[in-house]
């Protein structure tokens, strides 16, 4: 159980902090490659990768699909994973506090006894 839980936490951490979240987009890349392969049966995987990752972005008919490929655009998934979506913001009003210094504590020695005060005397030479 601990092993599975630690793998889960490590996966969530790595997917939210690093760019490993882009690996989730691999099925989109395979689907897009199949679409290109249907249009051009002679297209290889290397040519597909060169078209989409080498050189500047081409603004063609499937530009929106191209930008959904892994490592084409940067997304911030950590805000989705860890932070809840806040719909309403409440305004916080500024409160002015005034600091008033008062001496509330005074020292008064109410017990005066010779036996109690002898405890705090330095040791004497006998």
pLDDT, residue 31, reads 92
Residue pLDDT tens, the chain, 126 long: 888 989 888 888 877 777 777 878 888 899 999 999 999 999 999 998 888 888 788 788 888 888 888 877 765 554 444 445 555 666 777 777 777 777 766 666 565 566 666 667 777 776
Cβ contacts of 33 within 8 Å, gap of 6 or more: 45, 48
Task: Please state whether 13 falls in left (phi above 0), alpha (psi between -120 and 50) or beta.
Answer: alpha
Rounded to 5 degrees, φ, ψ at 101 are -85, 120
pLDDT, residue 33, reads 93
């Amino acid at each position: 159980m601990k092993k599975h839980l630690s793998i889960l936490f490590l996966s969530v951490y790595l997917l939210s902090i690093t760019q490993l979240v882009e690996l989730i987009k691999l099925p989109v890349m395979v689907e897009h490659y199949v679409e290109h392969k249907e249009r051009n049966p002679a297209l290889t995987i290397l040519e597909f990768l060169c078209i989409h990752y080498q050189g500047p972005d081409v603004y063609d008919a499937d530009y929106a699909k191209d930008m959904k490929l892994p490592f084409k655009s940067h997304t911030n998934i950590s805000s989705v994973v860890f932070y809840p979506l806040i719909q309403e913001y409440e305004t916080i009003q500024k409160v002015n506090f005034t600091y008033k210094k008062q001496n509330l504590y005074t020292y008064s020695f109410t017990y005066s006894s010779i036996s109690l005060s002898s405890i705090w005397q330095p040791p004497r030479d006998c």
